[in-house]
Each structure stands twice: as structure tokens, then as C-alpha cells.
Amino acid sequence: MNKDKQMYTGKRFDITIEKGKGTYVYDVDGREYLDFTAGYAVNALGHCNEIMINALEEQSRKIFHISDIVWNPIQTKLANFLVEKSGMDSIFIGNSGSEAIEGAIKLAKKYGNTVSENKDKYEIVSMVNAFHGRAVGSTSITGKEKYRKSFKPLLPGSKNSPINDIDALQEAMSEKVCALVIEPIQGEGGIVSSTPEFLKAARDLCDKYDALLIFDEIQCGMGRIGELFAYDFFGVKPDIVCIAKGLGGGFPIGAFLSNKKANLFQPGDHGTTFGGNPLACAVSYAVMQEVSKENFLEGVKEKGEYFKGKFAQKTEGIDFEYEIRGEGLLLGIDIGKSPSELVNQCIKNGLLIIGAGDTVLRVIPPLTVSKEELDKGIDIIVKSIKEIIK
């Protein structure tokens, strides 16, 4: 197989995955891997879940695609469900996380243009180490220079402030700011959680300067931390929330929801060809019915605590320092140095896993992972640690 014709945008492991079932994936030679990556926290219900297969098959016999000049029942159903669950006013359904962020940025810019007389309310403050996507707007507000440096000039007025530093945020905010964008728990940045006090201060500062508070819950939302919306965990409500990844459980879809104040779009302001695609909406609706169940979300929290406890127990007496962070099944094991050697060793031992930030091993299995599978994953991580510290 010639693998060289795709643009080289990142290093891949020399593994070719052909199939998956539940928490396992299989390469072209039939080798089995336990999957603790879930395709970057996407496969919420695991691989090839029957619920999703049925939803996709059923919808594929009705219609694949129809444009936004008409309505579609499953699209309306998903939209209404998410609006109701979020307590927001309205939703725009697109295709990816980046596209959700782009839409939110446009809404924020329009808000700035609408409320400011001299049209100078266009700055966007986001967090150091935040990750918001790969389109030009989302790259502009991503908090890592390595993702931005080759693409300048980016959006003017994009500024970063460190997470959980209220003084710095006070400094960064002003009347010129139209939006403050925060991942309640930074994923890519190394599983770094905001404190509730910080988010509360962020809310207050947005109110003070008449700026929109935007939460990027693309990784931490949709049940990943045991709440459908991460803001319910922190008790601070944004004006706009962006979602994607787990929303489709593996079918590409993203969306942003807005409260009444922020929703200033008029006909012609925004659009998408594929967004709200009936196949995507059907799968997403089926996934969301499962994930939003009270006992499902409780299970995610419980499994997260189980992992933390069991990992601590299994690493007792090993000469290995780490800190474990995160909520639910968005967990990070900070080992204080590059995790790449440990990642490679885990993969050798049959566990597909990735890093986050500079020093963190990221644990983001399907939300349907069983305790036995968590045990198995922990055993492989611990075995791999022992092998590399030898």
C-alpha cells in the first residue's frame, strides 16, 4: 500500500487499522489493540456499535444529503434535543470542531460590531496552551506558537492569557474584547482543568466588558467528563458552547449553541453545504440518546474514579513519579517528561494510546469501556512503565 500520497501533516505510528469492535481495534494483519484513544475522544460508544450501525443504515435508506433550503426531520430532532438539553436558545450544526469554532468566532465578531459604536470591539482572548482547531480563525486563537508560527499574519486582536490566572485575565480583558474563549478542561494542552473560581471570574469579566464567553467543549463535552455539557460540572454558563468529537461518536459532525443574547445571525450571515447532513444527524441523535442517560453519565464518572484508584494501587512501590489529572474519562497521567517512549512501549504491548501537552499520557477510551478493559489497560501501562525504567 502506498501511504506516501497524503500530505505529511503529522507523524503516524506504523500501524494500519482496518476494523474495530467495542474498545478494540484490529490491524490489517489481525493484531488486536485495546483502544484508549477513541480516535481523539470521538468514539463515545466504542467501535461499530450496533445502535449507530442501525441508525446509519435506517437513515441511508431515507436520504443521504439534502441542502439547507429545506427542513429535514432527523436534523430538527437532533437540533431540538441539543438545544433543550443545553438550555441554550439555538444551534448551528456543521461538520467539525474547527468549523464550530469558526462559527462562534463569527458570532463574536458580529456581536462586537453590533454593540460597539466605533467597531473596535474585535479582540478575542483565549488561553495559553489551548487548542481550538486548524482553520485560520481557530489557529489564530490556539494558544501554542508552534501551531501558529508558519501562518502569520493570523486574525488581528487574538491574545492568550494563562489558564487559572485571574489577575492576568483581568489584565487581558477590556472594552475591546468581543469574546473570551476557554476549554473548561484543556485536552490537547495536557488535561488541564479550569478551576470553578477562574470560570466564575471569566464570566464576571465578560459581563463587565460586554464580551461573549465561549466554551470550547469539543473534547471535554458530550459525556466525556460525566456531564453532557462540561459547564454543568463547573456551574458557569457560557454564551456560546462549541461541541464536536463525541457528538457523532465517529461520524463527522460539529455544532455551536448560542444563548439569545449572542445569536445575532441573520439570513445570509453563515452557512454550510454538508452541515446538518441527515446521516450525521441520525448517528449523532442515536449516540446522544445513549450518552445523555443519567446512568450512562454516572458510569463515566465512576469509571474515571475507578481508573484513578486502580492506577494508584497498581503503581505502588514502583520508582516512578506521576500526577493523574482530569475528570470522568478525560484523564491525563503527567509523567514530567516526554511521554513518547511510554506511548511506544504501550503500543508494542497492545494498547493504543497517545500523549497530550509535553509530558502527559492521555487516557480517553470509549465511554462504553468496561472496568475489565480499564484493568487491562492499566496493566499494560504499568508493565510498559516497568520496562522503560529498567
Cis peptide before 162 (omega within 30 of 0): no
Tell me the number of residues near ligand PLP by CB under 6 A.
18
Output the residue with the shortest Cβ distance to ligand PLP: 97
Q: Which stretch binds ligand PLP (CB under 6 A): 2-10, 43-51, 211-219, 263-271?
A: 211-219
Residue with smaller CB distance to ligand PLP, 101 or 333: 101
Residue with smaller CB distance to ligand PLP, 105 or 169: 105
Binding ligand PLP (rule: CB under 6 A), the pick from 110, 132, 224, 362 is 132
State the nearest-atom distance from the C-beta of 79 to ligand PLP, in Å: 19
State the nearest-atom distance from the C-beta of 28 to ligand PLP, in Å: 25
Sheet holding 24-27: strands in order across? Answer: 17-21, 24-27, 32-35, 351-352
Binding pattern for the stretch 6-45 against ligand PLP, x by CB under 6 A and - elsewhere: ----------------------------------x-----
Distance separating alpha carbons of residues 95 and 31, to the nearest angstrom: 32
Residue with smaller CB distance to ligand PLP, 81 or 147: 147
Q: Can residue 193 be called a binding residue for ligand PLP (CB under 6 A)? A: no
Under rule CB under 6 A, which residues in 242-281 are in contact with ligand PLP? 244-245, 254
161-165: Cβ within 8 A, 24+ apart: 161/125, 161/126, 161/127, 161/128, 162/127, 162/128, 163/127, 163/128, 163/129, 163/130, 163/192, 163/194, 163/198, 164/194, 164/195, 164/198, 165/198
Residue with smaller CB distance to ligand PLP, 183 or 334: 183
Binding ligand PLP (rule: CB under 6 A), the pick from 35, 102, 123, 183 is 183
Task: With beta carbons less than 8 A apart as the criterion, state whether 40 and 218 touch.
Answer: no
Q: Can residue 188 be called a binding residue for ligand PLP (CB under 6 A)? A: yes
Q: Give the list of residues 6+ apart from residue 330 with CB closer than 8 angstroms, or none.
A: 41, 185, 187, 191, 219, 220, 224, 225, 304, 364
Residue 321, classed as helix, strand or coil, is coil
Task: With beta carbons less than 8 A apart as the criterion, state whether 358 and 290 touch.
Answer: no
Residue with smaller CB distance to ligand PLP, 245 or 303: 245
State the nearest-atom distance from the C-beta of 356 to ligand PLP, in Å: 10
Residue with smaller CB distance to ligand PLP, 25 or 101: 101
Query: What amino acid occupies position 144?
Result: K
In the chain the first and final C-alpha atoms are separated, in Å, by: 37
Region of residue 307 (phi > 0: left; psi between -120 and 50: alpha; otherwise: beta):
alpha
Q: What is the DSSP string of 259-287?
A: -TTT----TTS---SSTT-HHHHHHHHHH
Binding ligand PLP (rule: CB under 6 A), the pick from 133, 190, 299, 357 is 133
State the nearest-atom distance from the C-beta of 226 to ligand PLP, in Å: 17
Q: Which stretch binds ligand PLP (CB under 6 A): 132-140, 225-233, 298-306, 308-316?
A: 132-140
Under rule CB under 6 A, which residues in 71-100 are in contact with ligand PLP? 96-98
State the nearest-atom distance from the C-beta of 96 to ligand PLP, in Å: 4
Residue 51, classed as helix, strand or coil, is helix
Task: With beta carbons less than 8 A apart as the criterion, state whether 184 and 230 touch.
Answer: yes
Catalytic positions, written as ranges: 131, 216, 245
Interface ranges with ligand PLP (CB under 6 A): 40, 96-98, 101, 131-134, 183, 187-188, 216, 218-219, 244-245, 254
